[in-house]
Chains A and B, each alone.
Chain A
Amino acid sequence: MKRRTVLGAAAGLAATHLKYGRLIREAAASEDVEADVLVIGAGASGAASAWRLASQGFKVVCLEQGDWLDHLEIPSTKDDWELVRQREWNPSPNVRGLPADYPVNDSDSPIKALMYNAVGGTTLMWSCHAPRFHPSDFKTNSLDGVGANWPLSYWDLEPYYDLNDKMCGISGLSGDPSNPPRSARQRAPMPIGKGAARLASAMDDMGWHWWPNDVQALSSAYGEETGDCNNCGPCEVACPVRAKGSTDVTYWPKALDAGIRLITKARVFEIETDANGNAVGAAYYDRNKVARRVRAKRVIVAANGIGTPRLLQLSVSKKHPNGLANGSGLVGRNLMLHPIALVTGLFDEDLEGYKGITANCITSQEFYETDDSRDYKRGYMVQFLRSFGPVLTSLAGYGVPVPWGEKHHSRFLDVFNHTASAGIVCEDIADPDNRITLDSDLTDGDGIPAPKMTYTLSENSKNMLAHGIESCTKIMENAGAKEVHNIELVEQAGWHLMGTARVGDDPEQSVLNKWNQAHDVPNLYVVDGSAFATAAAVNPTNTLQALALRAADHIAQTRGEL
Chain B
Amino acid sequence: MPSSNVDTPNTDILAAVMNAILPGGDGFPSARPQRFGSAMMADAAKDNDTEMVRDLLSKLPETFVALEPGDQVAALQTLEASETVAFSKMIRHAYHAYYTDSDVRSAIEEITGYPARPPHFEGYEMEPFDAKVVAVQRQREPFWRKV
Contact = CB atoms under 8 A, between A and B. Distances in A.
A230 interface: yes
A391 B137 contact: no
A231 B129 contact: no
A2 B121 CA distance: 10
B144 A391 contact: no
A94 interface: no
Interface string B71-85: 001001000000000
Contacts of B144: 134-136, 177-180, 368
B105 A76 contact: no
Nearest to B115: A354
B1 interface: no
A219 B129 CA distance: 10
Interface stretch (B8-16, B24-32, B51-59, B60-68): B24-32
B108 A409 contact: no
Contacts of B46: 87
Nearest to B136: A204
A210 B137 contact: yes
Nearest to A350: B112
A225 interface: no
A197 B114 contact: no
A409 B26 contact: yes
A76 B118 contact: yes
Interface residues of B, number: 58
Interface in A356-398: 356, 368-369, 389-391, 394-395
Nearest to B94: A404
Contact of B96 (A83, A189, A191, A417): A83
A463 interface: no
Contact of B99 (A153, A190, A191, A394): A394
Interface stretch (A20-28, A233-241, A245-253, A432-440): A233-241
A374 to B, nearest CB: 15
A6 interface: yes
Given A390-B108, A391-B95, A209 B137 contact: yes
Interface in A394-436: 394-395, 404-406, 408-410, 412-413, 416-417
Contacts of B122: 2, 6, 230, 232
Nearest to B147: A135
Interface string A207-220: 00111100000010
Interface in A334-359: 350, 354-356
B134 A356 contact: no
A135 B146 contact: yes
Nearest to B43: A83
Nearest to B116: A79
Contacts of B126: 191, 193, 231, 355-356
A135 to B, nearest CB: 4
A410 B27 CA distance: 9
B129 A189 contact: yes
A68 interface: no
B20 interface: yes
Contacts of A441: none
B111 interface: yes
A364 B81 CA distance: 41
A162 B136 CA distance: 27
A80 B104 CA distance: 13
Nearest to B96: A83
B120 A232 contact: yes
Contacts of A231: 123-126
Given A2-B122, A241-B120, A209 B140 contact: yes
Interface in A272-326: none
A171 to B, nearest CB: 9
Nearest to B122: A6
Contact of B131 (A6, A139, A173, A234): A173
B147 A405 contact: no
Interface in A154-200: 154, 173, 175-181, 188-193, 197, 200
A181 to B, nearest CB: 8
Interface string A446-473: 0000000000000000000000000000
Interface of B: 20-28, 43, 46-47, 73, 76, 91-92, 94-96, 98-100, 102, 104-105, 108, 111-114, 117-131, 133-134, 136-138, 140-147
14 contacts: A6-B121, A79-B105, A138-B147, A173-B129, A191-B127, A230-B120, A230-B122, A231-B124, A231-B125, A233-B119, A355-B125, A408-B21, A408-B23, A409-B24
5 nearest interchain CB pairs?
A230-B123, A232-B119, A191-B126, A232-B123, A135-B147
Interface of A: 2, 6, 9-10, 74, 76-83, 87, 134-136, 138-139, 143, 153-154, 173, 175-181, 188-193, 197, 200, 204, 209-212, 219, 229-234, 240-241, 350, 354-356, 368-369, 389-391, 394-395, 404-406, 408-410, 412-413, 416-417
Given A135-B144, A229-B123, A391-B96, 17 more contacts: A10-B121, A80-B100, A181-B142, A200-B133, A209-B137, A212-B129, A230-B121, A230-B122, A234-B119, A350-B112, A391-B95, A395-B95, A404-B20, A406-B23, A406-B73, A409-B23, A413-B26
